[in-house]
Amino acid sequence: MKYRSTRGKVNGIPFSEAVMMGLADDGGLLLPESIPLLSATELQQMADLSYPQLALRVLSHYIDDIPQAELKELIDRSYATFLHPEVTPVMHKDGLFILELFHGPTLAFKDIALQLLGNLFEYMLAKTGSHMNIIGATSGDTGSAAIYGVRGKKGVNIFILHPKGKVSPIQEMQMTTVTDPNVFNIAVEGTFDDAQAIVKEIFGDLDYKQKHALGAVNSINWARVLAQVVYYFYAFFQVQKTTGCSEVEFSVPTGNFGDIFAGYVAKQMGLPIKKLILATNGNNILSRFVNSGDYSAAKVNHSLSPSMDIQVASNFERYLFYLYEGNSARICAAMETFKKEGVLPVSAEELSQAQQIFSAASITDAETLATIGEFAFSTGYILDPHTAVGVQAGKRVGSGDCPLICLATAHPAKFGEAVYAACGEDPELPSAFQGIDQLEKRLETLPADITVIKDYVTRYALS
């Protein structure tokens, strides 16, 4: 399998090069040259596999430059760090299914991809005897998951930017209390979109990127998306065993479009997904697109689900590539228009195509709290705010014709204040969080200025 850029100037590169490149050198996002369509027979053969076995089966369709035995070892090592034997168990609550994605080291769904990506980086760097400086932006969970994925690994330094004061206290402590010498936390005086724009612009400076051997852990890295494709298959097979269903719907809380794009890939591979329900909070550029074709930038508002406080969804370009039928010239023009005018053009026909695959709803903070409280009262099960957004969106726009699977993206204890406001009691604190507020912290606060950020990275980068 070879990879190409959405913008047309990078083509025919192997998986390993795509992973190390992160953002394509032409400023686009990397995609496989084709998405394999699995037969009904192959799907049936996959149904009873364990999570690591299933991951090997799915990933092998996209990775042909790592020997199978070595890929298996990387996958097994990545998921051995998870606290639940199923890795991503499915719970049946209140007539719907909850896909728990928070059993990794940082108790968030990002662990599923970033434990694997960290091991891939270490493997590839060891093969070449080289080094890497990772730069990423986080709205909350990506940062800690990326840090835990590469902390202490040889040949890697990691620089993570987060919006100062706009992640939850637990999320900030998870990042800043990791004091390994290869970890650098930067609080940016701005929004997540500011931080993400700085990271993308840094990667767009090819001389700087090559000089400092930059690598990406944000969902601009194809390996992030690919790892997440696996749990859509796993969830479907678990629900099919319980219900005998022939198709399902997934409700996905998303801000950057990476998690739901993984579901789109799974659907294109032949997984019988009737609809992907796109759930946003009040920062609703994605739900506005699905419901009315309005993909226009707006001010980012801080919410109870901060990991979704995003108004420029970096992974949306990957979906546009398919919506525009692989027309890279049109992608380039559209992204330039969006950069200048804050609006992305979509035709009525293209909107109709998108609506055949996606439904969408935007959920307010008040609705989020009500959902957490009502769900806890009726089932005894505590949702985190992001998962609550997905549950409420699924209930609102789901068809009701097939099982609904809602992605639970974080442990509720990561957002204890919101849970307390909804339920009147604190969520149970996992052992991983106990005493975290007493640990030593290391953090640098910098302005949302690319020159200042680049100077800081240059000062501490491996060379």
pLDDT at site 433: 84
Looking up tokens 């996958």 gives: 75
Q: Is 347 within a domain?
A: yes
Task: Please choose, from the candidates 289, 299, 297, the residue with its C-alpha nearest in 3D space to the C-alpha of residue 361.
Answer: 289
Residue 272's alpha-carbon distances to 237, 250, 260, in angstroms, are 10, 11, 15
C-alpha atoms less than 13 angstroms from C-alpha of 214 in its C-beta half-sphere:
27
Distance CA 173, CA 442 (A): 10
Q: Which amino acid is at 203?
A: F
Residue 459 lies in a domain: no
Provide the token pair at 449.
């200025």
Tokens of 228: 């997440």
Across 235-266, b (16+ Cβ under 10 Å) vs e yields bbbbbbeeeeeeebbbbbbbbbbbbbbbbbbb
| DSSP strand pairing (295-296 vs 404-408) | unpaired
Q: What is the pLDDT along the chain (463 residues), one digit of tens a residue?
A: 999 999 999 999 999 999 999 889 999 999 999 999 999 999 999 999 999 999 999 999 999 999 999 999 999 999 999 999 999 999 999 999 999 999 999 999 999 999 999 999 999 999 999 999 999 999 878 899 999 999 999 899 999 999 999 988 888 999 999 999 999 999 999 998 899 899 989 998 999 999 999 998 888 899 999 999 999 999 999 999 999 999 999 999 999 999 999 999 999 999 999 999 999 999 999 999 999 999 999 998 999 998 898 888 989 999 999 999 999 999 999 999 999 999 998 999 999 999 999 999 999 999 999 999 999 999 999 999 999 999 999 999 999 999 999 999 999 999 999 999 999 988 988 888 889 999 999 999 999 999 999 999 999 999 8
Q: Is beta strand 183-189 parallel, antiparallel or unpaired with respect to 156-163? A: parallel
> Nearest Cα to 405, choosing from 99, 65, 17?
99
Beta carbons of 127 and 207 less than 8 angstroms apart: no
Q: Is the residue at 463 inside a domain?
A: no
List Cβ neighbours of 136 (8 Å cut-off, separation of 6 or more).
142, 143, 146, 158, 159, 160, 161, 199, 216, 217, 218
**Helix (H), strand (E) counts: the chain:** 19, 15
Domain membership flag for residue 406: yes
Distance of CA 343 to the CA centre of its chain: 24
| One-letter amino acid for residue 245 of the chain | C
Are residues 119 and 198 in contact, defined by beta-carbon separation less than 8 angstroms? no
Return d(Cα 423, Cα 417) in angstroms, integer. 10
110 is catalytic: yes
First to last CA, the chain: 31
Range of the structural domain that residue 232 is part of: 90-106+226-423
- Whether residue 373 lies inside any domain: the answer is yes
The one catalytic residue in 9, 110, 153, 275 is: 110
**Domain count across the chain:** 1
Decide if 327 is inside a domain: yes
Residue 179 is assigned to a structural domain of this protein: no
CATH number of the domain to which 98 belongs: 3.40.50.1100
